[in-house]
Structures are given as C-alpha cells and as structure tokens.
Structure 1
C-alpha cells in the first residue's frame, strides 16, 4: 500500500519543501480583473501585494477544480500510489472540501481521503508535515486520519488585521459583530471557530497591544496543555514585524519551538496586507524526540 499526501497553496509550504517531502501541492487561482494567476506559480507574494497597492479593482480567488484534482489523482496513480490524503483549506471559507467529498467516490484509480484542515497557512502546513511523517513511518490513511484529527484539535490562533474591509467584501467573516472592528484606530483580532469559520474574537488599539493579547492567549493554552506547544509567527507582507515578534518569543521562552510563515495571495485577498498572527499547536516533533 503506497500513500500520497496532497495539499493546496494556502498551506504556504514552499515549493522546495513540498518537493523535498514528496507532497503534491496544487495552486489556488488568484484573479485580478480579467487576469488569472496560479498562486506561487505565476504570481508570487511580493507581486501580489504590489498589485494590491496598484490595482483599482480588488482581487478574488477561484478554488481548485475537480478537473485539476483528477489530473493530480491520475499522476499519483500512474506513479504507483494506492491512496491519497488530501489536506486542504478550511471548509469554513471555501466549498472545496464539500466538493471533494462528493467527488471522491467517483475516483476509481486511487482511494481519496479528504481531510478538512479547518485552518489555513501554518495550521494547514503542519497537518501536511505530520501526515507525511506518518507515511514515512509506514502508516496508511486509515491509521493517519484519526491522528490528524487529534492534532487539529490542538491548533489555535490569533490573527490581527488592519481592518475588516477585505473580509467583509469577500464574505469570509461570519459574525455580524465584525463591523465593530472597523472603529477608528482599532486592530480587529480574528480566529477560526470550531467549524473552521473566521470570526472576530476581540480588538485592540495598537499592534503592540494586539501582540500582548495574542501572547497571553498562547501562554494560557500552554498552561492548560499536558503536551508541549510550538508557535508560528505569521505575517502578511510584514517581515520586519515578524522578526520582532519571533525575537521576543525566543527571548521569553528560549526552549520554545518558534517557526515563521506568511500569508500569500489566496489569503491576502481576504485579509489584506499587514496581517500578523500567532498560531500554536502540539509540538509533535518535540514529543517524538522524548521517546
């Protein structure tokens, strides 16, 4: 039994990392007017944010089609794979997972296991890394799926956005109280709820206060957990801010696993530029080191 792992570009794995792990990563389409781009293939994150500044017409996205998925399934089957675990962007902000669940039974050449990350970016990426690690240990999809569910339950995050205009425009924010976040000089804080939908959880007046709020949430999660946590600093075209947050976390907790990731075109369409976030989850690598 040969098992493959497939994800989408909203995981923000680098193409080099995906290739090194032998993970198939399909690009989501980003649309500016009449032009369509494949994320990280025909448009990079810097190019996207440049166009976001320059273009009058705001961008949108188009999810991966089942035709594209079938092409990937055909290639994996031809390479000798018997099954594939598909870990994709949260069903709370796209219908892709629902569509794949409906399509999967029609695929005959390879067994398809859809998995809803209920997250994005680093949360999705760590599920992919964990799945591929388990594959390399000789485990198969039916063994891996419940372990992915268990890891997903440990993932939480705080995102801080400059304003909610992009999320309101694209309809990706679900609680109507979100409008309160557009008060003058406020930094809305958002997270994924249990269903994988983006919701507003609070607001702060400055990014410094928002970081302190996110840090307090992370430390509370650490205190409540009976396993080690890792944390990822996520930025939307704010590398200097990411470096500052990363340095502060390492200063406060020298033994903490601190990773850096980013928000690229697909998520940038919905949250805009300048987003910062902390995402934390069970540090499964550290647990393995102790065994």
Structure 2
C-alpha cells in the first residue's frame, strides 16, 4: 500500500523530511499592514527578515491558513500518482482552522483514497517528530488501524513548554495589558505557557529568571525521562533566539551529555504570537509499537 503524508508549514520540517518523496506540505502565510505577504517558511534569511520587521511595526502581521485549493491540488496529485492512503498531520485545531479546512477537502476524496486525519494538538517540532515517527511506522509495515491509536497516544505523551521573553506581542495581539507587559519587563517575570491535552495553550507558571526556567524545565524533562526512557527526545524551537536555544541546550547537555537535542526556528505564523526571543521546549516521545 502506497501512503502519503500532508503536513502544514508550522511544523518546521527539517530538509530530510521536507524532501521525502511521500511528504507534501501546505503553506500558511503572514501579512504585514504595509501589504507585504510572506510564506510561512524555514528559510533562515526569510525568518531573520520576518523577525526583524515584526519588532519594528506597531501592528502585528496577521496569519492566514492554506487555501482550500492547496489541498485540492495535492489530493488530485496523490490520486494521479496512485496513492492508496493519505495521512493529514496538522497543527492544533484549537489554534487554527487549518485542520478543519483540510478535513473538509480531504474527506471529499474518501471514495478514491483512504484518508486519515491527525490533530496533533501541538505545533512546530512536535509535529515534525510525529511526521518522522509516522514515516517510520509506515515503512515498518504497520497498518492504519495500528498507526492511528499509536499516534494519538504519542500526541498525548508529548509536551511543549514556551518561554515568552517579550510580552509586547501579547499586548499587540490583545492577549495582555500594556501595564502587565511593563511590570513583567521591569521585574523580569516570564510567563511559561504549556499546550494542554486538548490543544489549547494556557499559562503553566510564572518565573522570574532564566536560570529558574532552566531548572524548572530540567525537572520536567527528568520526570518525562523516568516515564518514557529511551523513547523520549528533546528539542528547542526559538523566535530568532538561536544563542538562547544553544544556551539551554548546553545546560541540558551538562546533565545528559549523550542526549541528541535538536534546535529549530519557530516559523513566522508561530512567531507572530510568541514574539522575538521566545523559546519552546518540546518533549518528543516516540510511538510505542516496536
């Protein structure tokens, strides 16, 4: 059985996944008030331009999901190429209409190709890890009736924690008061957000220094490591804050020198909300099928 995967651009796929012959990507966009429209991208030069421009404007750019035509084009291509099934792996349905639009279009093809839709209830490196695991399971010969429950469990097991350094984006986006941002900046109080089990984002805790954030995240990681063992992997995703991501990575490597820790950019659509300087920690759990 020939299987394809459709994923959205917020996943920050590395090149080896982006270039996989069975992986297809739909692209979200961001639009600035001056008319500039940018694709959601992993291109480093474009990302630096986006983050530099975002901090210089008074009004945040708006984000938009892929057009239905993007899904129709890919689905028609999959049919023409003779695929038997397609997995749609998309960002949290609580944060975007991307999943709902994909479902609407892809289910129209149910009589011609088997369609399996996965709401990751997450973003960024969590999605990339899930795509990597999905490819592994497909290539290992597992069937959809085995894969889907394993993926759903992996989604429940994986976690994202987000450190927001600059509260101005939350103010511009109407998610925080200006006074709160000022106080947070002066007192160096940083909100730590977490993706909940239903795919929504909520405040997990508020921490005063980056040193305490490191210790808190290390404790969270160690608890997950006790639970999942070698199935657990670690990654950081940043809003144009590579040096900070490296600093956090090196802190973890001091305690776990053999851990292979990935670092990725937050794409523009995610950067609109997290802001420049934001940092996410992903606890990436493998599927439990072997």
Q: TM class, shorter-chain normalised?
A: 0.7 to 0.9
Q: Which runs of 5+ in 2 are unaligned?
A: none
The alpha-carbon distance between structure 1 residues 228 and 106, as it changes in their structure 2 partners (threshold 3 A), is closer
* CA–CA separation in structure 2 for the residues paired with 1:152 and 1:167: 27
Structure-1 separation of matches of 2:223 and 2:254: 18
For residues 182 and 284 of structure 2, what CA distance do their matches in structure 1 show?
29
Give 1:12-31 correspondences, 5 Å limit: 12-20=12-20, 22-31=22-31
Distance in 2 (alpha carbons) for counterparts of 1:238 and 1:41:
14
Shift of 1:44: 2.3
Could you tell me whether the CA contact under 8 Å between 1:3 and 1:141 is conserved in 2?
Answer: no
Of residues 269, 272, 275 in structure 1, which corresponds to 2:272?
Answer: 269
* Aligned twin of 1:189: 192
1:113 aligns with 2:116: yes
Q: Which residue is equivalent to 1:8? A: 8
Q: Kindly indicate whether the alpha-carbon contact (under 8 Å) linking 1:191 and 1:200 is maintained by their aligned counterparts in 2.
A: yes
Would the alpha carbon gap of residues 94 and 221 (structure 1) be closer, same or farther in structure 2, given more than 3 Å must change? same
2:37 corresponds in structure 1 to 36
Following superposition, the deviation at residue 223 of structure 1 comes to 2.7
- Partner SS state of residue 54, structure 1: coil
CA distance in 1, matches of 2:197, 2:166: 23
**Structure 1 CA distance for aligned equivalents of residues 143 and 99 of structure 2:** 21
2:77 maps to 75
Structure 1: stretches of 5+ with no match in the other structure: none
TM-score under structure 1 length normalisation:
0.87
8 Å Cα contact 1:88/1:124 also seen in 2: yes
Tell me how far apart the structure 2 counterparts of residues 52 and 114 of structure 1 sit (CA, whole Å). 33
Aligned partner of residue 159 in structure 1, secondary structure: strand
> In the alignment, which residue of structure 2 is the partner of 1:101?
103
How far did 1:271 drift? 1.0
| Pairing partner for 1:158 from 155, 158, 161 | 161
Q: What is the distance in 2 between the residues matched to 1:162 and 1:41? A: 22
Judge which range, 102-111 or 91-100, deviates more. 102-111
Q: Does the Cα contact within 8 Å between 1:181 and 1:187 map onto a contact in 2?
A: no
Deviation at 1:159, TM superposition (A): 0.8
Structure with bigger RCO (C-alpha 8 Å, 6+ apart): 2
CA distance in 2, matches of 1:167, 1:122: 22
Q: Indicate if the aligned counterparts of 2:122 and 2:160 stay in contact, CA closer than 8 A.
A: no
How large is the Cα RMSD of the aligned pairs?
Answer: 2.6
Q: Specify the alignment match of 1:51 in structure 2.
A: 53
Alpha-carbon distance change, 203 to 119 in structure 1, aligned in 2, over 3 angstroms: same
TM-score, scaled relative to structure 2: 0.87
Kindly state the Cα deviation for residue 180 of structure 1 after the two structures are TM-superposed: 6.4
Q: How many residues align?
A: 283
Verify the 8 A CA contact 2:75 2:106 in the aligned structure 1. no
Of stretches 38-47 and 265-274 in structure 1, the one that deviates more from structure 2 is 38-47
**1:198 counterpart (183, 198, 201):** 201
Are the aligned partners of 1:230 and 1:257 in contact in 2 as well (CA < 8 Å)?
yes
